[in-house]
Amino acid sequence: MPDYIRGGDAELSAWLDNFVTSADANLAAIGLVAADLTPVTTAHSTRKTALAENLEAQAA
């Protein structure tokens, strides 16, 4: 079975952005509260920052 998240970092970031946005907009419908999503949004933010720093370091 092929992966449903294709490509590299940019594609994963786009997928995660969409996931977080969709989950946040539908918390009640999927049986969650905002605190349930906090670890995901924190990890996603940390990942985006680390990726940007890595890309900047590679360019230097």
pLDDT tens for 4-60 read: 777 788 888 999 999 999 999 999 999 999 999 999 999 999 999 999 999 999 999
The reported pLDDT for the residue numbered 1 is 58
The reported pLDDT for the residue numbered 3 is 74
The reported pLDDT for the residue numbered 55 is 93
The reported pLDDT for the residue numbered 17 is 94
The reported pLDDT for the residue numbered 34 is 94
Q: How far is CA 39 from the centre of its chain?
A: 11
The reported pLDDT for the residue numbered 4 is 73
Q: Is 13 exposed, middle or buried (CB count within 10 Å of its CB: 0-12, 13-18, 19+)?
A: middle
The label of the residue with tokens 């969409």 reads 18
